[in-house]
Structure 1
Amino acid sequence: MTDLAGIDGLAAVAGDYDAIFCDVWGVVHDGEKKSASAEAALAAARQVGCKVILLTNSPRPAEGVARQLDTLGVTRAAYDGIVTSGDVTRALIAKAGRKLFHLGPARDVDLFAGLDITLVPADEAEAVVCTGLVNDEVETPEDYSGMLAQFKARSLPMICANPDVVVHRGDRIIFCAGALARDYAAFGGEVRMAGKPYRPIYEEACLMAELGPDEKVLAIGDGLNTDIRGANGFGLDALLIVGGIHGAELDDAGGEAKPLEALLAAQDLKARYFMPALA
């Protein structure tokens, strides 16, 4: 096992890789403003021959994420393509039955575009597709415990289009679909997912980047159980952004490699590099 190493900038290692799979929320932006340093680092990596694929657990299709990045002012010179959890979850949705209940905000409805399904009330559904809390600014997963119990009583499978449990939106913590999926699984409900850390999203990213079997990929992210666990499971080197969603937890390592390596190992995780924020 190669020791964990701190780096000052992506440029120090980008030349060693054929492609970069980079997380979006928490690395490229925080939901309200972009990271200019991350944008510049990714654009520079492309200039030295790296293909940059943005890999996000957003439940929205790639086109919607690209529009959000445009709105935040992220240049398209910073990436070659986008693969979302929503993109790869559509295959699960297509197999789930014709009558589905959408649990989530109306803004995510484009996830279902072009699929041969009908969105129905919960009591008519054959399965549930969860894209998030309906109003994630004020609601918590506890608000859904009664609904989840009803789903379990009917043995409805839940397709979770965003495995993330929480994200930062500015300086606030926002619950995601993954929190409801976690709670549904705790009820004993069946949960299906395809985003990070699961293989389908990585397989799709490899296809988009047109990677051969011997080409090297660096996965970048701040989520331990999504970005880093997914990279480990798919056999990719990982660059952990320690100032992201797990900042408080990882702060105990004091920015030092050995304590951080031990913290990761305690969760059966490893990373090749780390830095406070992508630059």
Structure 2
Amino acid sequence: MGAPLIIKGLSEIAGRYDALLCDAWGVIHNGRELFAGAGDALLKFRETRGPVVIITNAPRLSSAIPPQLDRLGLPREAYDAVITSGDATVEAVKAMGDIPGFRLGPDKDDTLFNAAGAQFVPIEEAGFILCTGLFDDISETPEDYREMLSLAAARGLPMICANPDRVVKFGDRMIYCAGSLADLYEELGGETIFCGKPHKPIYDACRKALEATGRPASRMLAIGDGLQTDILGANREELDVAFVADGIFAEQSRGPTGRIDGPRLGALLGEHDVSAQYALDGLKW
């Protein structure tokens, strides 16, 4: 695997592509504010090159994301569609039929739990687990769930993981996501069903969204910060990918100057057995 080409902005390579699949958290924003230049980059790509689909592992329905992006200040003219792992999660729950489930996740994910249409019961009575994250991602860690998940794994309950992300950077701190609980569950011998990146269903949904724009897209570029989600997913789909060092791997990929360090980033990608064609300090035009 060769080292990625380090670029200053999307304009250097935009002419090679006619569509973007862009991650949200860690690329466009940090949960509290937009990253400087990210909105302008998406607007200019969409104006000059082609459609933009925001592809996110948020455990919510896609309809919930534009209002969130509105609050952060991203204009709706910057993207054509939003595809979430929450959309795929609803389909996975429907495939369970009438089996009751156990809801594992915070109250803020009520919309997804309600949309799933399942009956939720105590874990002792459940036939599967629907996991959107920790109950309290401010004070808890996955280890707080080891005993409960050990018992569930011993009973053979499948876990539907609505967000394969392990951690995200919220402001200046890291918080655990559903993917960290899924990792623990697999370690304990449990079966997991993942509904977002890097798995194929969410990319199929993105292609359908691109077709719906009426603007042909044969040369897609994926943009992301998660090595085992965004980058691995793009690799599996044989898409070119740009790694953004504003997210969860910022410290590991930057040198003493605070800018991307090519050899350091190359080693990091190699450790995770993924590759990227390009790398940017942050999403800018």
For residues 161-215 of structure 1, the C-alpha deviation after alignment (integer angstroms, 9 at most, x for no partner) is: 0000000110011000000000000000000002001111111001101189970
Instruction: Report if aligned partners of 2:254, 2:261 keep a CA contact under 8 Å in 1.
Output: no
Which amino acid letter does the alignment assign opposite residue 144 of structure 1? Y
Find the counterpart in structure 2 of residue 209 from structure 1: 210
**Uncovered stretches (5+) of structure 1, i.e. residues with no partner:** none
Determine the C-alpha separation between the residues in 1 that align with 2:73 and 2:271. 38
Cα distance, 1:158 vs structure 2: 0.2
Find the counterpart in structure 1 of residue 221 from structure 2: 218
Find the counterpart in structure 1 of residue 16 from structure 2: 16
Matched, 1:270 2:275: yes
For residues 25-57 of structure 1, the C-alpha deviation after alignment (integer angstroms, 9 at most, x for no partner) is: 011110111123101100110001321000100
Query: Mean alpha-carbon deviation: is it higher for 267-276 or for 251-260?
Result: 251-260
Cα distance, 1:117 vs structure 2: 1.9
Instruction: Report if aligned partners of 2:19, 2:217 keep a CA contact under 8 Å in 1.
Output: no
For residues 232-277 of structure 1, the C-alpha deviation after alignment (integer angstroms, 9 at most, x for no partner) is: 0001000001232011222359634354334313322111110111
- Counterpart of 2:37 in 1: which secondary structure? helix
Cα distance, 1:15 vs structure 2: 2.2
Which one of the candidate residues 234, 239, 245 is aligned to 1:236? 239
Aligned residues: CA RMSD: 1.9
Instruction: Report if aligned partners of 1:15, 1:50 keep a CA contact under 8 Å in 2.
Output: no
Instruction: Report if aligned partners of 1:242, 1:250 keep a CA contact under 8 Å in 2.
Output: yes
- Counterpart of 1:41 in 2: which secondary structure? helix
Find the counterpart in structure 2 of residue 107 from structure 1: 108
Instruction: Report if aligned partners of 1:97, 1:126 keep a CA contact under 8 Å in 2.
Output: no
Determine the C-alpha separation between the residues in 2 that align with 1:71 and 1:174. 21
Find the counterpart in structure 2 of residue 257 from structure 1: 262
Instruction: Report if aligned partners of 2:61, 2:86 keep a CA contact under 8 Å in 1.
Output: yes
Within-5 A mapping of 1:116-135? 116-135=117-136
For residues 206-236 of structure 1, the C-alpha deviation after alignment (integer angstroms, 9 at most, x for no partner) is: 1101189970110000110100000000010
- Counterpart of 1:63 in 2: which secondary structure? helix
Determine the C-alpha separation between the residues in 1 that align with 2:38 and 2:249. 18
Which amino acid letter does the alignment assign opposite residue 63 of structure 2? E
Change (3 A) 1:66 1:187: same
| TM-score, reference length from structure 2 | 0.92
Matched, 1:56 2:59: no
Determine the C-alpha separation between the residues in 1 that align with 2:283 and 2:240. 16
Determine the C-alpha separation between the residues in 2 that align with 1:266 and 1:190. 26
Q: % of aligned pairs identical?
A: 44
Determine the C-alpha separation between the residues in 1 that align with 2:159 and 2:63. 24
Query: Mean alpha-carbon deviation: is it higher for 257-266 or for 128-137?
Result: 257-266
Query: Mean alpha-carbon deviation: is it higher for 195-204 or for 206-215?
Result: 206-215
Within-5 A mapping of 1:13-52? 13-52=13-52
Instruction: Report if aligned partners of 1:59, 1:108 keep a CA contact under 8 Å in 2.
Output: yes
- Aligned residue pairs: how many? 279
**Uncovered stretches (5+) of structure 2, i.e. residues with no partner:** none
Query: Mean alpha-carbon deviation: is it higher for 83-92 or for 52-61?
Result: 83-92
Change (3 A) 1:114 1:265: closer
Change (3 A) 1:200 1:10: same
Instruction: Report if aligned partners of 2:23, 2:54 keep a CA contact under 8 Å in 1.
Output: yes
Change (3 A) 1:43 1:156: same
Change (3 A) 1:266 1:143: closer
Determine the C-alpha separation between the residues in 2 that align with 1:11 and 1:214. 18
Query: Mean alpha-carbon deviation: is it higher for 235-244 or for 110-119?
Result: 110-119
- Counterpart of 2:254 in 1: which secondary structure? helix
Which amino acid letter does the alignment assign opposite residue 205 of structure 1? C
Which amino acid letter does the alignment assign opposite residue 267 of structure 1? H
